[in-house]
Amino acid sequence: MRSWAILEEELALWRESGRAPVLWWRDDDAAEATPALDRLLALQRTHEVPLALAVVPASATPALAERLAQAPGIDLLQHGYAHTNHAPAGDKKAELGAHRPAMIVLGELGTGRMALERLFGPRALPVLVPPWNRITPGLVPALPEIGYCGLSTFGIRQRVRPVSGLVQVNTHIDLIDWKTRRFAGEEAVLAILATALAAARSTGEPLGLLSHHLAMDEPAWSFLQSLWDMVGNKPGVKIASAHDLFASGEPRA
């Protein structure tokens, strides 16, 4: 119980300051209609919290489009192009790294963008979520030029220099420990969330929760449910939709 108390204490500090933190929820790697996706959508519907689903364009199926057509209120983001690693063995995985000519990478992204528009129409926001949350800084200034209004990676957003015309809204709390591919643990996740909330009291940065419906074990699903039980649609915490966050127009908020 101590772990949830950390969150309560931090939210009390926000209340005292007369403000509400902004949280948002991104789930990655959607491509097909699967039982795990159904579970995610059911959880979203139960808690009525906005969800942004990052879809891999090269493998997104018409069945996914049909399934999502019955799930209004979910924003779709572009998860790279094919979620293919182009980094040499031994390097950190990256699809949007500096390993290939920029023209090739940007061309792929444009193809992916068109594929999402064809499948999902205007629900597919021109927001890029780089696979493995990695993008070489050299590509970022070109993103508004090819039609993107937003970029979402992981960690505090100062890591990527602000670019005019590109809203950066990141995720900060990953439910999975990728070394073990299991739930990172209630205590660890809540400590990261509380620390991020404390930092956001001065930066005002919206905080993103990152889930992966295809990779979550039971403890991760159960935590997600508990978290939205606690903070979803409660006074004192604002859960923002991706379409609101990325339409805000401010370059870094």
Binding site for Zn ion (CB under 5 A): 28-29, 131
CA 43 distance to own-chain centroid: 16
Per-residue CA distances from 226 to 58, 190, 193, 242 (Å): 34, 11, 14, 22
In contact, 27 and 212? CB cutoff 8 Å: yes
CB of 171 to Zn ion, least distance (A): 11
Nearer to Zn ion, 80 or 232 (CB): 80
C-beta closer to Zn ion: residue 10 or 29: 29
Provide, rounded to whole angstroms, the least separation between the CB of residue 212 and Zn ion.
Answer: 7
47 versus 213: smaller Cβ distance to Zn ion = 213
In the bound state with Zn ion, the residue whose beta carbon lies nearer, of 28 and 205, is 28
How many Cα neighbours within 13 Å face the side chain of 18?
Answer: 0
Amino acid 213 reads H
- Which residue's CB is nearer to Zn ion, number 134 or number 252? 134
Q: SS3 of 163, please?
A: strand
What's the closest the beta carbon of residue 234 comes to Zn ion, in angstroms? 29
Measured torsion, CA atoms of residues 22, 37, 74, 193, in degrees rounded to the nearest 10: 0
The backbone torsions φ and ψ at residue 62, rounded to the nearest 5 degrees and listed phi first, read -60, -30
Taking CA atoms, 163 is separated from 30, 78, 151, 182, 239, in Å, by 27, 19, 10, 35, 25
29 or 75: whose CB is closer to Zn ion? 29
Find the residue with minimal CB distance to Zn ion: 28
Shortest distance (Å) from residue 198 CB to Zn ion: 28
**Least separation in angstroms between CB 54 and Zn ion:** 7
Closest contact distance (angstroms) between CB of 132 and Zn ion is 6
